[in-house]
């Protein structure tokens, strides 16, 4: 699964709120906002395969704690921390 598809499944509809330098790999760390509520829903770095969800965009479909992080373990699995 590629990273963009993983973002689609996890965050749902979104738009880029702002981009900063990733503190881990110095690549782009992107903050995403929900298109309707305009709340910040998460941040991600495609280079170091990092995703943090601040608030699920569809709570009925995706119930998780308020903030969590997902790190890519290998090409097929993800580790939720």
Q: What are phi and psi of 30, to 5 degrees?
A: -105, 130
pLDDT score, position 43:
94
- Taking each continuous run of H as one helix and of E as one strand, the counts in the chain are 1, 6
pLDDT score, position 14:
93
3-state DSSP assignment of residue 57: coil
Q: What are phi and psi of 76, to 5 degrees?
A: -120, -20
pLDDT in tens, 9-66: 888 899 999 999 998 899 999 999 999 888 899 999 999 889 998 865 555 444 444 4
The secondary structure of residue 35, as a DSSP letter, is: T
Tell whether pTM > 0.85: no
């Amino acid at each position: 699964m590629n990273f963009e598809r993983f973002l689609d499944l996890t965050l749902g509809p979104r738009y880029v709120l702002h981009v900063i330098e990733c503190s881990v790999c110095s690549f782009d760390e992107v903050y995403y906002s929900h298109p309707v509520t305009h709340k910040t829903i998460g941040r991600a770095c495609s280079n170091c395969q990092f995703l943090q969800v601040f608030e699920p965009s569809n709570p009925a479909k995706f119930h998780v704690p308020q903030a969590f992080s997902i790190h890519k373990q290998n090409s097929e699995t993800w580790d939720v921390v």
